[in-house]
């Protein structure tokens, strides 16, 4: 499985869109600032949206598409399935399986 995802900071002011083949591991890296860069600089560690794909090219296409969207369109995408902007990395059991 591959995932396109959006993370934000505690007050939802900055968004980051990424792709990974292991969302549980990637969120651990974001939350613990293991990899320096944009997400660690802006304290982005709250998973607010993700989509699963069987093929990496589909996940990469989705990432590219979402990155090109306006902030409002990204907000609408998040709020469609996560209206309260809760941290999905705590609520989805599939993210906690090995």
Q: Where are the domains of the chain?
A: 2-91
pLDDT, tens digit only, all 98 positions of the chain = 999 999 999 999 999 999 999 999 999 999 999 989 999 999 999 999 999 999 999 999 999 999 999 999 999 999 999 999 999 997 655 554 33
Which residue in 23, 24, 30, 34 sits closest to 8, CA to CA? Answer: 30
**What are the distances in angstroms from CA 58 to CA 50, 81, 84?**
13, 20, 27
Top CATH class, 2-91 = alpha beta
* pTM exceeding the 0.85 threshold for the entire prediction: yes
pLDDT score at 90: 73
pLDDT score at 94: 54
What is the C-alpha end-to-end distance of the chain, expressed in Å?
A: 13
């Amino acid at each position: 499985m591959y995932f396109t995802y959006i993370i934000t900071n505690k007050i939802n002011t900055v968004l980051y869109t990424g792709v990974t083949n292991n969302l549980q591991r990637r969120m651990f890296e974001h939350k613990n600032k293991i990899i320096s860069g944009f997400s660690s600089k802006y304290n982005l560690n709250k998973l607010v949206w993700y989509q699963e794909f069987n093929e990496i090219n589909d996940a990469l296409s989705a990432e590219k598409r979402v990155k090109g969207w306006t902030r409002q369109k990204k907000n609408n995408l998040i709020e469609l399935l996560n209206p309260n902007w809760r941290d999905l990395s705590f609520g989805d059991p599939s993210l906690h399986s090995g």
